[in-house]
Amino acid sequence: MKIKSQTEKLHLVREFISEAARKYGFDEEAVGKIALAVDEACTNVIKHAYNYAPDREIQVNILKSGPNLEVVITHNGKSFDPEAIKPPNMPDYLRHFRHGGLGMHLMRSLMDKVEYKSASGKKNEVHLLIQLPAGSSRS
Q: Is 87 in the site for another protein (CB under 8 A)?
A: no
Minimal distance, residue 13 CB to another protein, in Å: 10
Q: Is 66 in the site for another protein (CB under 8 A)?
A: no
Q: Is 85 in the site for another protein (CB under 8 A)?
A: no
User: How many other C-beta atoms are found inside a 10 Å radius of the C-beta of residue 47?
Assistant: 14
Distances (CA, A) of 29 to 6, 26, 34, 76, 111: 26, 8, 9, 32, 13
* Residues found near another protein in the complex (CB under 8 A): 6-8, 10-11, 14-15, 29, 32, 36, 39-40, 43, 46-47, 90-91, 94-95, 97-100, 102-103, 105-106, 109-110
